[in-house]
Amino acid sequence: MKYTTLVWDWNGTLLDDVSICIASMNRMLQKRGLPALDAARYREIFTFPVKDYYYQLGFDQAADPFSIIGLEFIDYFKQMLPDAPLQQGAASFLEEAGHNRLRQLVVSAMEQQSLTKNIFQLKIGHHFSQIFGIENNYGGGKTELARWVADQLGNPSECLMIGDTLHDAEVAREVGWDCILIASGHQSANRLNKSGVPVFADLSEANQWFSSLLNRRN
């Protein structure tokens, strides 16, 4: 078991926020007379940068520049955020990793202040040595942030990233981290299986796999 560090994505991976993302977007779509979004379609089209996903939904780029509608979404999202729970299996995975003295940190495309507040509201902040978010609310991705974090951590072969999107796999590949993905977040298993990294149905299944690695170490 070579890993000493778990690098967690937040939205969709540890935080079960898909339903509030869909509800927030549907408020925006309804205002504009556009078709509503369901979970199946959402998981097939959500992507990074999120700007591309917005315009797949039919927003008019001239009438609705992303600089405006991106913040409109965040306003709705923040209203619902206190209702978003942890993903099933998240707490036990974090606790087991901590019990085995693995370093854990979060690298997220969520704005830093909101990210930190959300994590501590859910009473899991003590699991993380560091929490890294981005500087704005536009969800442009986290490749540059991950490069900086990777430089600080060193030893990329000892780091495992856990995420829920193809972007997470791309980021991990960019900085030399191994990666696993869960299909209970923002993208479908069908899409994630194209990443070339292990894909699990949810965190409980991923934790079973990880526990087997820990048992080999012990």
Q: At residue 94, what are phi and psi to the nearest 5 degrees?
A: -60, -45
* Mean predicted confidence (pLDDT) in 119-140: 87
pLDDT of 76-104, one tens digit each? Answer: 999 999 999 999 999 999 999 999 999 99
Q: Which long-range contacts (CB under 8 A, 24 or more apart) does 147-152 make?
A: 147/174, 147/175, 149/7, 149/105, 149/107, 149/175, 150/175, 150/176, 150/177
- Per-residue pLDDT band for 217 (boundaries 50, 70, 90) equals low
Give the pLDDT mean for 49-58: 89
Q: How much is the pLDDT for 26?
A: 98
Residue 48's pLDDT is 86
Residue 182: strand pairing partners: 200
Q: State what percent of residues in the chain have pLDDT above 70.
A: 96
Chain Cα centroid distance, residue 48: 11
Identify each DSSP E strand in 65-175 by its residue range: 103-111, 130-134, 159-163
Q: Which residue has the tokens 């078991």?
A: 1
Model confidence over 157-191: pLDDT tens digits? 999 999 999 999 999 999 999 999 999 999 999 99
pTM of the model: 0.94
User: To the nearest whole number, what is the mean pLDDT of the chain?
Assistant: 94
Counting every residue written for the chain, the total comes to: 218
pLDDT higher than 70, residue 218: no
Q: What is the pLDDT of residue 77?
A: 96
Residues 6+ apart with CB under 8 A from 185: 11, 12, 13, 18, 87, 163, 164, 165
The band of 136, judged by pLDDT with boundaries at 50, 70 and 90, is low
pLDDT grade for 40, boundaries at 50, 70 and 90: very high
pLDDT at 197: 97
> In the prediction, which pLDDT does 137 show?
57
